[in-house]
Amino acid sequence: MRAASVGQQCVECVGEGARSTRQTRTTFGGRPVTGAVVTWALVAINVAVFLVAWVRPSVVNNFAMLGYAQYTAGGPPHGVAADEWYRLITSAFVVPGAGLSGLGLVDILFNMWALVFVGPPLEGLLGRIRFLAVYLLSAVGGSVMYYYLASPNQAAAGASGAIYGLFGAWFVVSRRLRADTRGIVALIAINLVISFVWHAIAWQAHIGGLLTGALITAAYVYAPRRNRAVFQAAATVLVIAALVVAVLVRNAQLTSGAV
């Protein structure tokens, strides 16, 4: 028996009541969260990898985004086209340049500030699983765009693709909620200008992450209420499938010498 507000209830009755009680959901179908657990976990992972790369700079070369290249003349090829698919996502957790000076420090500071700025409200609105999906898919989407538009032997690293995906997600969510979007539009515009002006920045990944984040978030927030979770899951699978096909096509181009 279990104590209830009035008298006692059997364990089976309590369990049945819990199953029949409709679970609360966020505005867009996710489970309500207390605290930005995923956001802070991502910050911790990014900072930890940055510190590891500071001690072992070779980590950046091994996990950065790279299309198809040889480290040494006559050596084995490396990159996504050489079956190193993991680079599509690991590149979002390593930072170009090691140490506490130069572009690496600027990159990690800006990206983590942006993640802490937009991450918690997005995680609260979307729920943890959907928020994490937006972040990771934006990272991969940025890598795929870079894979197509940048030189295959030019490496890139950093969380900017994922961060721009969150910018795109925030814009879509704001539009859906009919909130003021001028702030996020200005933030996106300023950062895109910097991306194109500063030649050391992989603007291709920024564009790819922005478009992917906006697209998958639109599927989440505009999903019909009926069977919403099914629609959102199907949209996620569709985006993943599209990214996989795009990588396969690019792999074939590079390995066949078509480009």
Q: Which helix (H) or strand (E) holds 9?
A: strand 8-9
User: Is 206 an annotated catalytic residue?
Assistant: yes
Q: Which residues contact 161 (CB under 8 A, 6 or more apart)?
A: 92, 138, 139, 141, 142, 143, 145, 146, 202, 205, 206, 208, 209
CA distances for 43 relative to 11, 88, 126, 127, 226, angstroms: 42, 19, 18, 17, 35
From 78, 91, 143, 206, active-site residue? 206
From 78, 160, 195, 199, active-site residue? 160
8-state DSSP, 78? E
User: Is 143 an annotated catalytic residue?
Assistant: no
The alpha helices in the chain, defined as continuous H runs, are 11-20, 37-55, 58-63, 87-90, 103-126, 128-149, 160-176, 182-197, 203-221, 228-255
- CA-based Rg of the chain, rounded to a whole angstrom? 21
End-to-end CA distance of the chain: 72
Encoded amino acid at 73, one letter: A
CA distances for 251 relative to 151, 181, 259, angstroms: 13, 38, 11
Encoded amino acid at 91, one letter: S
CA distances for 108 relative to 50, 88, 143, angstroms: 8, 18, 18
Nearest to residue 82, comparing CAs of 142, 147, 161, 138? 147
Find tokens 């506490």 and name the residue.
Answer: 100
Catalytically annotated residues: 160, 206
